[in-house]
Amino acid sequence: MYYKNSIGSIYYEVHGPENAPAIVFSHGVTMDHRTFKEQVKALKDNYRVIVWDMPYHGKSSEIDENLQFSTTSADFIIELLDTLGIHSAILVGQSLGSFVAQRAAYTYPERVVATIHLSGGSLYPKYSKWLKVLNPFFSLPISILSYKSLAKNFAKHKAITPNTIAYLEEGVYKTGKKALMHLIKEMIDDMVIGLPEPLKQPMLIIYGDHELGPIKKMNKRWHHNSLNSQISVIENAHHILNQDNPEECNTVLLDFLKNLV
């Protein structure tokens, strides 16, 4: 299904009972709603599960590059909930999707019951503006590498299972270099803009045991600075932990969700 407004068009799917608690999943860079296939299977009997393709990804359209990505995507989520007649939902964000979930939870606190972050990164406290100097270090390799080299290098630093690696390589080709560079710039800008205070909703932070060291430290610090959070490490998983080890990821998700009731 599609939702359209003056900004663009987004593709989404809804699974599960209409009167069940709602959960919205937002994916990472170069991915789409398919990354949550195993989570949909695990949750759809007891939850109303919504997956979507964020702007620039999958079947959704691009948006004006002057619009802040996370803010615009957060607005899309709330508008989608309005369209579906859902007052509040649990938001799950994977990597880039974690920024979107945080932006939505802070901007629309009454609409967000809790947030779950898969290999995410905290927007509170905000980062120094000097972080922006890193942007050329990401953009230059993307611009000069062949699509094949870019796809392989991107995937091997984010996943360990063959199926997940193949999925990420496919996503790089579909997303394209221009959009990828823009999205990375948006993530850096988002970290510099930050949030003025930590989220108040219950939060689950998850990362894989094969995750990069700086991201592990970021998640531990995030947990320490949060008001109401839990943290969990998924074995045999990298950045895309929900695909590398879906069974353990789903177990952790379900435990957290049951305790929310």
Residue 135 has pLDDT above 70, yes or no: yes
| Both structure tokens of 32 | 């789409």
Residue 188 lies in a domain: no
Residue 16 lies in a domain: yes
Residue 19 lies in a domain: yes
CA distance 35 to 65: 25
Residue 76 lies in a domain: yes
Please, which residues have CB within 8 angstroms of residue 33's CB and are 6 or more apart in sequence? Answer: 11, 12, 13, 25, 27, 51, 52, 53, 58
Please, which residues have CB within 8 angstroms of residue 138's CB and are 6 or more apart in sequence? Answer: 181, 184
Give the burial class of 133: count Cβ atoms within 10 A of its Cβ; 0-12 exposed, 13-18 middle, 19 or more buried. Answer: exposed
- In angstroms, what is the C-alpha Rg of the chain? 17
Is the CB of residue 209 less than 8 Å from the CB of residue 219? Answer: no
Number of domains in the chain: 1
**Tens of pLDDT along 83-116?**
999 999 999 999 999 999 999 999 999 999 999 9
> What confidence category does residue 65 fall into, taking pLDDT thresholds of 50, 70 and 90?
very high
Residue 79 has pLDDT above 80, yes or no: yes
Amino acid at 95: S
Residue 97 lies in a domain: yes
Residue 114 lies in a domain: yes
The CATH number given to whatever domain includes residue 229 is 3.40.50.1820
Domain of residue 41, residue span: 2-127+196-260
| Both structure tokens of 69 | 């990505």
Question: Distance from first CA to last CA of the chain, Å, rounded?
Answer: 30
